[in-house]
Chains A and B, each alone.
Chain A
Amino acid sequence: MSSAEIQVRDLHKSFGDNHVLRGIDLEIGQGEVVCVIGPSGSGKSTLLRCVNLLEEPTKGQVFVGGTELTDPDVDIDAVRRRIGMVFQQFNLFPHLNVTENLTLPQRRVLGRDRATAARTAAENLARVGLAEKAQAYPSSLSGGQQQRVAIARALAMGPEVMLFDEPTSALDPELVGDVLAVMRRLAEEGMTMMVVTHEMTFAREVADRVVFMDGGVIVEEGSPGQVIGAPRHERTRHFLSRLLDPAMAEVEEEASDQVGKPGE
């Protein structure tokens, strides 16, 4: 076993006839920040969700911290405690206030006592700059604040790995910065992170490695400067040009990007 924190081997995932992942091999080392980019329907979110087994892979293996998640006998709840996940739609618990969102999982899952859980919650809220919102309910927070609470909730469990599934895609543009700042700080602190994102600036500046996916396979991967700055593959160049300058895109035949499901 290598020292990789996350290891994915020959991963396949089908939804019925739809072959979304077609053989993914990926390793993420400890403390590494990897951004996964690619067009919608390329399978990048599915890949991320396979890493903590929210989606059951059709074939292949996933290891996190040396434990094989795809082993049918593994205690998946125990492994997931070590993997934090942040969703596009935040998924805060609306019936609980911010502090309770952070303390309930600690107490129910980790069995921490009330005082310890509350202390950890306060620390992590401060970490995402929302200490003053401790008593607020999620519905009274902006999207950016909700997402930062969601990050704090995952961090409060003391994960070794953090997964981000398009964490800023549901946010108003002016709120994206706050969330990215929190993620950038987390990366600087040495957290192992796997981030599915469309934020090229973030990927360029924060990621150690960028993975470009299309059609359920990894097309190319490498340093941000390499993949975003000087892509070797035509598909990567095409994707980046559309993303970086959407106004310049030409109306084209649909055949080229008819892979996977439309819209995630």
Chain B
Amino acid sequence: MTDTGVRLQPKKKGLTRRQRRGLSRAVQYAVFAAAVIAFAVAADWGRLKNQFAQGSIAKQMFPEVITLALKNTVLYTLSGFVVGLVLGMVIALMRLSSVGPYRWVAGVYIEIFRGLPALLIFIFVGVAVPLAFPGTEIPGGTYGKVAIALGLVSAAYMAETIRAGIQAVPKGQTEAARSLGFSPARAMVSIIVPQAFRIILPPLTNELVLLFKDSSLVLFLGVTLEERELSKYGRDLASTTANSTPILVAGLCYLLVTIPLGYVVRRMESRSQEAIR
């Protein structure tokens, strides 16, 4: 604390700045403590435990919650991510194209799919498309539908991320590649895109986390028992047991993946910050 600085100030009426700071801090702690105490007193702990943390029900979920539900969630997420990445890459390159119509199409795609709720796209892929084009079947059944729905949603975001990454690579890199005899396409593939992906690895991983959560929308597609992922599985079990413990367990399974991923992203971000310095 800089006591000396305060003492040198001319005397003012009321509290000194230091006293005011102390008071403000005390009030904040007091409010927090009051809120915690109020919650602890008001909550019906027995009921809560009964409703959310029944050991027997939780135990009954294993190992299926991992081997089936989490596995399916991961599968849906990854397949959607791959589709989104490939489609996003194509759209990003179209967006940077020197051919006008490509740029327009890419721009329209991005505006549309960034603006629509993911749920709507799931319904569109799962219900509207089969109705509109009878006889056509999306390959891979539910897995295919989810991959396409998640891919369509994430491609719009990834396209913008990839475009920003490509544009963040210094112009000198393209010039060096071109002066060595690389064609524009080869320079892009061999020199620019690899560097762009280093830059956008953190935001892409964030996108993976978002997709991981969005995969819960599979719930609305109508899936078989074998195709259930975490949210659907948790909800089904919650209704058969008339207890919320499965929801809690499913939630913990999500966090099991998202928290480490978030940590990885922060690590990558701080590392790329250091690399810039």
How many inter-chain contacts with C-beta < 8 Å in the A-B complex?
59
Say yes or no for B19: interface residue by CB 8 A criterion.
no
Among A54, A108, A110, which residue has the most Cβ atoms of chain B within 10 A?
A108
Of B60-68, B178-186, B260-268, the stretch lying at the interface with chain A is B178-186
The reply to whether B175 and A87 form a contact with Cβ atoms under 8 Å apart is yes
Indicate if A81 sits at the interface (CB-CB under 8 A): yes
- Smallest Cβ distance from B55 to chain A, in angstroms? 51
On whether the beta carbons of B186 and A91 are closer than 8 Å, the reply is no
**B-side interface size class:** 10 to 19
Known pairs A91-B170, A92-B176, A105-B177. 14 more at Cβ < 8 A? A52-B179, A77-B178, A77-B181, A80-B179, A85-B180, A87-B176, A93-B177, A93-B195, A94-B195, A95-B194, A105-B182, A139-B275, A154-B179, A154-B180
> Contact residue range for chain A?
20 to 34
B172 close to chain A: CB less than 8 A: yes
* Dominant secondary structure at the B interface: helix
Closest chain-B Cβ to A246's Cβ sits at a distance in Å of: 28
Could you say which residues of chain A place their CB within 8 Å of the CB of B175?
Answer: 54, 87, 91
Question: Shortest Cβ distance from A249 into chain B, in angstroms?
Answer: 31
> CA separation between A52 and B170, bound complex, in Å?
19
**Does B173 have its Cβ within 8 Å of any Cβ on chain A?**
yes
The minimal Cβ–Cβ distance linking B199 to chain A, given in whole angstroms, is 10
Q: Name the contact of B172 in the complex, choosing from A91, A139, A154 (C-beta under 8 A).
A: A91
Say yes or no: A108 contacts B186, CB within 8 Å: yes
Residue of B nearest to A150 (CB): B176
- Contact status A89-B179, CB under 8 Å: no
Q: Does A104 contact B (CB under 8 A)?
A: yes
Q: Which parts of A164-189 form the interface with B (CB within 8 Å)? A: none
User: Are the C-beta atoms of B181 and A80 separated by less than 8 Å?
Assistant: yes
Q: In the complex, are the beta carbons of A105 and B180 less than 8 A apart?
A: yes
Q: Does B198 contact A (CB under 8 A)?
A: yes
- A78 at interface by CB-CB < 8 Å: yes
Closest chain A CB from B83 CB (angstroms): 26
Quick check: is B16 within 8 A (CB to CB) of the other chain?
no
Q: Give per-residue flags for A81-121: 1 if the beta carbon is below 8 A from chain B beta carbons, else 0.
A: 10111010101111100000000110011100000000000
**A residues 140-154 in Cβ contact with B at 8 Å:** 150, 153-154
Whether A157 is near chain B, meaning CB under 8 Å from some CB there, is: yes
B221 at the interface (CB under 8 A from A): no
| B178-217 Cβ-contact flags toward A at 8 Å (1 or 0) | 1111110010001100110010000000000000000000
- In whole angstroms, how far apart are the Cα atoms of A153 and B182 in the complex? 13
* A91 engages B181 (CB within 8 Å): no
| Interface pair A77/B195, CB less than 8 Å apart | no
